[in-house]
Amino acid sequence: MKTVDIFKYCALSAAFMLGLQQAAASPSIPLYDKSFSFVDASPAAVSSYRDTYMQAKQAFKDGEFEKGRALQSSLPKDYPLNLWLDYFYLSREPSTAKFNDVMRFIKENKQQELSRLLRNTYVHYLASRGQYTLVDKLLPKKPFDENAKLTSSQKALMCRFYESKWQNGKGSEDAVAFASKLYLQLGRQPSDCNGLFAIWNSRGYLTDRIKLEKFERAYIQKSYRQTTNSLASSLSSSSFASRVNEHMKYYSDPLSIFDSLSVNSKADKRIAVLAFKRFAKQNPSKAANLYSTFVSRFKPSEIEAIDIKKILAENLLSRGRPLSDVKWVDKNLPAVGWTENIKEQRLRRAIWFGQWETVYKLLQSMNKEFVSQTNWKYWLGRSVYELGHRSKGREILAEVATDRSFFGFLAAQFLDEDLPFNEQTISRWVSWPGTVEDDPAVIRFFELYGMDDGDAVFEWREIAKNSDDDVAMLMAEWSLRQGNTAYAIDSVVSSGRWDALAYRFPIVYFDIYKKQSKEQGVSLSFMYGISRQESMLNPSIRSPVGAVGLMQLMPGTAKMVSRQRSWNYNGTQDLVIPSNNVRLGAAYLRDMLDKFGNNRILAAAAYNAGPGRVVRWESKDGIKRDAAMYVENIPFAETRKYVQNVLLYDAIYQKLLTGKEGALLYANEINYNY
C-alpha cells in the first residue's frame, strides 16, 4: 500500500475507532515530510543546523573531539540536539577528566535513557580502572532488588555496585550473599562480575564446600558436563577429592550404583543419592518405579528422600503424563516438599483432570500475588462454581470479567456480559501542534526523525514513558496517521498504556489482508491477530530462528505451501513483500484450520509450535475437557501465552474492524472435545 493510501486508511480507521463524537473532536494532523521541525528558525536554517549536527556527531564518533566541539559551538545554544552532542562527547572514549561533566549530565536528567546509558558506561569504565570512589558517586544506592529476576546487564551493574562498596571498605552481608548466589547459578555470568568474584574469593568466601555445592547442582543436570568436569578438577586436591571421584564414577551411568555401590558410610549414601537424582532427571518414569527399591537399598534420610521426590514430581506432573503419575506425586511427596513450582504444575494437572476440590485447595495455599493473576483468579471462580457454589463462583468470575485478557473475555462470555475492551482514547481537548510543540522530547524527536537518524527511537520512548498522557497519545495518533505502525505500537509497549487499543492494534495493509481473507477463507480478524502477535505488524522483521515478515513464515513452510498450490516462490526475499507474506501465511493458516476442525485454538497452537505437537497434545483418555482446560495445559509456556494472545487479539480486531463486539470463542470451539 502506498504511503498516501496508508494515511487515508489509518485516518479513516482512527476516526471510526474513536467514535463519531470523538472523531469530530479529533485533531487535524497534516501528513509531514522530513523537513518538518518545531525549532523556531527558517527551513533553510533548520537544514543547516541538521547538517552541522550530523558532522559533529560523526566527529565525536571518530574521536575528533576538538572538531566536534568546534562544530557544536557553531550551533545555537538552545538547539535541542546539543544534549545529544554532549552525550556523544562524554560517552565516546570515557575518561576521568570528563567525570564532573558526566555527573552534571546525569543529575540534570533531561533525557532519562541517555542519563542511564551514560551512567552505566562510566560505572563499567571506572570500575575496570579501580576508580571505586567515583563508582560510588554514580551508584550511591543499590540499582536493583537482587531477589528479583535480573537480566544479564542488570546483574553486571549489581556486581559493579557491590564490588565498589567492598573496595571502599563498605562490604556487607548483602554483598557476600549476592556473590554466593550468583556463583551457584549454572550458566555463564557477565564478565563485569569478575571483579566481584575476585574480591569475594580473596576474602575467603569461595570455599571448597561452596564449590562442592555447585558441583552437585551441575552433576544432577542433563547438560552441564563441562561445568561438572571443571569443578571436579578444581576439587581434585581438596578434602572432598575422593568423594568427588566416587561421584564421577557414576556420572555416565548413574543406575550402575545398584550393581557396584555398597553403603558402608554416609559418604556412600551421598554418592547414591546424587546419582539417583541425576537418573531421576534423565528417566523419571523408570526412576519412580525404582524409587522403593532405591530407598530399601540405600536408605536416604527424610530430607534426601524429599529432594528426590521433588525432582520426580517436576517431571511426573508435566503435560501428557497419565493420572497415575499425578497420584504417585500426591501419595509420595508430603506437603512440606511442595514448592511453589510443583504446586503450579499440580494445579494445571488438577485442572486437566477436572479435580476441582484440589484446584480450590491449591489456590488457597498459594500466595496472594499468584492468585491475583487473572488466569488463576478465573480458575478460583471456576472451581468454586464447579463445586456447586454457583453464586459465589459467578461473583469471582465477574471480577475476572473486568480484565481485558483471554481469561477476562472468557469469563465475560460465560456470564453473558459485554467484553471488557476498556479502551483509552485520545482526549478531545488535545490540539495539533499546540499540545506537543513545547515538549523537549517531541522537539528532539522531530529533529532526529527529519534526519532519518535511528536515535529518534530513544526520543520516541522518552515521550512515551515520561511525557504526560495528552502528549504521548497525540504523538501515537500522529504516528498512526503517518502510516508508521511501528512507532504507534512502540508508544504503547514503552509506556504500558495497554488501553490505547487504536495504537496497540493498528490496521495496516488492509487491501492485502482483505483480499487474502476472502481468497483463503480465513477470518480477517484472525489473520490480524496472528500477525500482531507474530511480528507486531513489521513486514521486514526476521526472528532468530529465521521466520520472516508480517506472518513470520519459515522459508521451508513458505516453500511447502507454494509447492502445494503451484504458486511461484523465489525464496526468502519474497517473504518481506507484504502481499506474498500474507498470501502464504493465510494459506498455511487455512491448512491448520482444515486440519483441526476450523478450531482457532488448535490452529494457533499449530502455527506456533507445529501441527505435529498439537496432534500429540490431544487427549486420549476420553475425559471431556473444555477450551480453558486445554489452553491452561498447553505444555510450552510460549505457546500457551501465544494462543491466549491470538484469540484475544482476534476479538479486539473484530471490534476495531466492524465496530461490533464479537465473541472470544465460537460455538464449535466451545463444544470441541479437547
Q: What is the pLDDT of residues 203-261, one digit of tens each?
A: 999 999 999 999 999 999 999 999 999 999 999 999 999 999 999 999 999 999 999 99
Integer CA distances (angstroms), 623 to 56, 329, 419, in order? 70, 21, 30
386 is catalytic: no
107-135: average pLDDT: 97
User: Rounded to an integer, what distance in angstroms lies between the CA atom of residue 11 and that of residue 253?
Assistant: 67
* Structure confidence by residue, pLDDT tens digits, 131-185: 999 999 999 999 999 889 999 999 999 999 999 999 999 999 999 999 999 999 9
Q: Is the pLDDT of residue 3 over 70?
A: no
Over range 80-104, report the average pLDDT.
Answer: 97
Q: Given 534, 632, 638, 669, which residue is catalytic? A: 534
Query: Confidence class of residue 25 from pLDDT cuts 50, 70 and 90?
Result: very low
Q: How confident is the model at residue 398 (pLDDT cuts 50, 70, 90)?
A: very high
pLDDT in tens, 591-605: 999 999 999 999 999
Sequence-distant (≥ 6) Cβ neighbours of residue 336 within 8 angstroms = 306
Residue 26: C-alpha distances to residues 36, 394, 427, 477, 523 (Å): 21, 40, 8, 10, 30
Residue (of 553, 674, 555) closest to 623 by Cα position: 674
Residues 6+ apart with CB under 8 A from 303: none
Collapsed DSSP state (helix, strand, coil) of residue 123: helix
Q: How far is 381 from 395, CA to CA, in rounded Å?
A: 8
Give SS3 for 238.
coil
The predicted structure's pLDDT at residue 94 = 97
Q: What is the mean pLDDT of the chain?
A: 94
User: What is each CA distance from 432 to 33, 41, 444, 477, in whole angstroms?
Assistant: 16, 19, 17, 10
Could you give the C-alpha distances from 442 to 126, 451, 464, 479, 492, in angstroms and in order?
33, 14, 10, 12, 16
Give which of 360, 408, 358 is closest to 384, Cα–Cα: 360
H helices present in 139-283, as ranges? 152-167, 173-184, 194-202, 208-220, 225-234, 241-249, 257-260, 266-282
**Residue 26's pLDDT band (boundaries 50, 70, 90)?**
low
The grid coordinates of residue 571 equal: 525464496
* C-alpha closest to that of 507 among 524, 492, 495: 524
pLDDT beyond 70 at 9:
no
Specify the 3-state DSSP secondary structure of 553: strand
Residue type, 612: G
Mean pLDDT of 12-34: 56
Distance in angstroms (rounded) separating the CA atoms of residues 152 and 142:
16
Percent of the chain with pLDDT over 90: 92
Q: CB 545: neighbour CB atoms within 10 A?
A: 7
The predicted pLDDT at position 16 comes to: 38
Mean pLDDT of 427-450: 96
Which pLDDT score, from 0 to 100, does residue 294 have? Answer: 97
Q: How far is CA 336 from the centre of its chain?
A: 32
Average pLDDT over residues 43-68: 97
* Surface-to-core class of residue 470, CB atoms within 10 Å of its CB (0-12 exposed, 13-18 middle, 19+ buried): middle
Using CA atoms, how far apart are residues 362 and 344, in angstroms rounded to an integer? 8
pLDDT per position as a tens digit, 60-83? 999 999 999 999 999 999 999 999
Per the model's pLDDT, the better-predicted residue between 339 and 17 turns out to be 339
Task: Please give the share of the chain, as a percent, with pLDDT higher than 70.
Answer: 96
pLDDT in tens, 287-312: 999 999 999 999 999 999 999 999 99
Determine how many CB atoms are found less than 10 A away from the CB of residue 417.
14
Report pLDDT digits (tens) over 663-672: 999 999 999 9
Residue 215's nearest CA partner among 190, 198, 192, 234 is: 234
Q: Look up residue 264 and give its DSSP letter.
A: -
Q: Which three cell numbers stand for residue 214?
A: 555447585
Q: What is residue 12's predicted lDDT score, i.e. its pLDDT?
A: 36
Check pLDDT > 90 for residue 499: yes
Band (620; pLDDT cuts 50, 70, 90): confident
